[in-house]
A and B are shown apart, each in its own frame.
Chain A
Amino acid sequence: MARDYSFSVSSATNHFNRPNFVIAYATAVFALDPKAPANANNMAAAIYTAGKSLSQGKTNSTGINSYQKDAEAIYLYPFPSQ
């Protein structure tokens, strides 16, 4: 099921400008199968892309940094199968 939603998550990340929805969707699909690299990568991309969108209106300097760090941590995530 997680595999079926992979494309949907990535396309929503790329083409759908609803950051909160995209993060919720990507994290939910990742939780369905945390061993799949595609889901983790999709989640990282969603967090970074949506985070960029969410932090645009904010004035504090941290802004995108927290999203960026979390996305980076997810990219580093070693998969149990590897």
Chain B
Amino acid sequence: MPTTEAASQKIEADSKAAEKEGLRQFEALTKELGLENMAAQAGTGSGADGLNPASNLFPMLMSQEPEYKEAPVIGGGSLSDVEFRTPEEKARALRAVNAELESLPVKLPKKEDAPDQTAILKLAASYNASSRKNFRPDELSAYTGAVTFNPSFDS
């Protein structure tokens, strides 16, 4: 039928146009990547005899990858200072650190600064009084609602 024939011809023309467009895009891409030779080869071939671009692009890109070279290790590459410090130098460095630490004020608590039981109870009473004045009954309700056990505050 003429209509079917015309339609099949149109489909064939469309597919050729699409193929050309794909080839053009591929050539543009390979030029962009600096692979003009491959684009030329791919352009000359077609069908079963032509170069399949997809199957060759990856190995070519891989072949252009620079080889990994390990950076040269300078100075042994370890933190061990065996090679850098003599025992005398190490002892001198240790003495310098200790001297610096000893010059700092001692931050440990002194026994005479510690409050006695009366002072602590007084502190607790003052905190308790001020906090009880400020906290609202709904805070207590919120707490008893939040905990899974039932604290009794009246005993």
A-side residues, CB < 8 A to B, are: 1, 5, 8, 11-12, 16, 18-21, 23-25, 27-28, 30-31, 34, 40, 43, 47, 50, 70, 73-78, 80
Contact = CB atoms under 8 A, between A and B. Distances in A.
A19 B127 CA distance: 11
B151 interface: yes
25 contacts: A11-B147, A12-B143, A12-B147, A16-B142, A16-B143, A18-B135, A18-B139, A20-B132, A20-B135, A24-B127, A24-B132, A27-B131, A28-B128, A34-B120, A34-B124, A43-B124, A47-B127, A73-B119, A73-B123, A74-B120, A76-B113, A77-B115, A78-B111, A78-B114, A78-B116
A31 B128 contact: yes
B40 interface: no
A79 to B, nearest CB: 9
Main secondary structure of the interface of B (DSSP, over half): helix
A52 B131 CA distance: 14
B139 A20 contact: yes
Interface of B: 109, 111, 113-117, 119-121, 123-125, 127-128, 131-132, 134-135, 139-140, 142-143, 146-147, 149, 151, 155
B7 to A, nearest CB: 75
A57 B122 CA distance: 27
Contacts of A8: 147, 149, 151
**Nearest 4 CB-CB pairings of A with B:** A20-B135, A24-B131, A27-B128, A23-B131
A80 B117 contact: yes
B113 A70 contact: no
Contacts of B146: 16
Nearest to B136: A20
